[in-house]
Amino acid sequence: MDQDAALERSMRRALELAAHGPSTGPNPRVGCVLLAANGEVLAEGWHRGAGTAHAEVDALGKLPGGAARGATAVVTLEPCNHTGRTGPCALALIDAGIARVVYAVSDPGRESSGGAERLRAHGIDVLGGFLEAEVSAFLADWLTAARLGRPFVTLKWASSLDGRAAAADGTSRWITGPQARLDVHRRRAAADAIIVGTGTALADDPALTARDAAGELLPSQPIPVVIGSRRIPADAALRSHPRPPLFFPTDDLTAVLANLHGRGIRHAFIEGGPRLASAFVAAGLVDEYLVYLAPTLLGGGRLALGEIGVSGIDEQRLLTIEHCGRLGEDLLVVARPR
């Protein structure tokens, strides 16, 4: 197998390893494969969450001293150059005698970037941008948070084919079927926070938990966040959430997201209602749309999305469809802003 093919195989393996890490929390999911000069895999590693060894250090730790000298490290993210709970990965690679580092995505962090420069300064051959697009898609939420200083924002709604989120009397359980609802819960569990407005919290009394098909709590639960000035009763379902809810009596969405980012929240999942959803869209703060469409018609004025600041066709919010598929009788459309 030629060198490029071996590197591609190893980078894809590093991406598989990265997926073992936690999808929530302030740190990115990273994988690393260490290769001998002949292409043999020496060790593998991945990051298991804040405070634990980074992927490169995890892989190096599986080898006896000196065994990594002259090896190639294939890693999904540029080795960090930051001392936090753990030391810089760039320095660990230098100390281990690594001869070459191949990474996919540059680290955009103000404090953690610069690892590639440090490696080159110590005579290590560095190749960046290898399978960059593929790994960037995997790290999209963390990269957005690192670049913008706010969480990656996913906006979800379920509606009839005519765009209604509820019947004329306000009832909405259930528009979509069980497979779609199970998919929503799986995606909730992969987010750090789940956001609703006080209108939805009062009208629907949602628990804002992530559950399996049997109704049991999933191991990972998003932090419930409520935005709005109306008071939420002491016996509201969300107050019994496994994680203490956060309340923001404000309409300053940018400030809310900055606050959440400061708490280590990197992916926020908006569940509604239509007024809050529209405000996020109008402010240009949505990075991903999840639209669940049920094969039914409701009519009336209970739209899934309201005013978003578009008065003419030239102001339309253009999206790119990333995925479209069936979930039982329903459709799921995943889209992102162009």
Q: What is the distance of C-alpha 135 from the center of its chain?
A: 13
Cα separation of 308 and 289, whole Å?
Answer: 14
Q: What is the pLDDT of residue 179?
A: 96
Same-domain status, 221 and 133: no
Same-domain status, 34 and 131: yes
Residues placed in the known binding site: 54, 80, 89, 158, 172, 174, 188, 200, 204, 208, 211, 229, 271, 273-279
Looking at 87, 120, 144, the residue that finishes a domain is 144
Cα separation of 289 and 3, whole Å?
Answer: 39
Per the structure, how many domains does the chain have?
2
Cross-strand partners of 196: 226, 272
Tell me the catalytic residues.
56
Same-domain status, 240 and 123: no
Low-confidence ranges of the chain (pLDDT < 70): 1-2
Same-domain status, 64 and 3: yes
Same-domain status, 283 and 157: yes
CA angle at 104 for the pair 286 and 90, rounded to the nearest 5°: 110
Cross-strand partners of 247: 226
Looking at 144, 178, 196, the residue that finishes a domain is 144
Q: What is the pLDDT of residue 16?
A: 96
- Dihedral (C-alpha) 225, 185, 278, 196: value to the nearest 10 degrees? -20
The Cβ of residue 264 has, within 10 Å, a number of other Cβ atoms equal to 15
Residues placed in the known binding site for NADP(+): 158, 174, 200, 204, 229, 273-279
CATH code (residue 97): 3.40.140.10
CATH code (residue 217): 3.40.430.10
Same-domain status, 88 and 159: no
For residue 279, give both structure tokens.
């405000």
Same-domain status, 310 and 171: yes
Domain of residue 107, residue span: 1-144
Same-domain status, 12 and 128: yes
Q: What is the per-residue pLDDT across 219-276, written as a single tens digit (0 to 9) for each?
A: 999 999 999 999 999 999 999 999 999 999 999 999 999 999 999 999 999 987 899 9
Q: What is the pLDDT of residue 110?
A: 74
Cα separation of 76 and 60, whole Å?
Answer: 15
Q: What is the pLDDT of residue 236?
A: 95
Q: What is the pLDDT of residue 150?
A: 95
Same-domain status, 80 and 179: no
Same-domain status, 263 and 160: yes
Residues placed in the known binding site for Zn(2+): 54, 80, 89
Looking at 144, 160, 182, the residue that finishes a domain is 144
Q: What is the pLDDT of residue 89?
A: 93
Same-domain status, 172 and 61: no
* Cis peptide bond N-terminal to 46, omega within 30: no
Same-domain status, 75 and 179: no
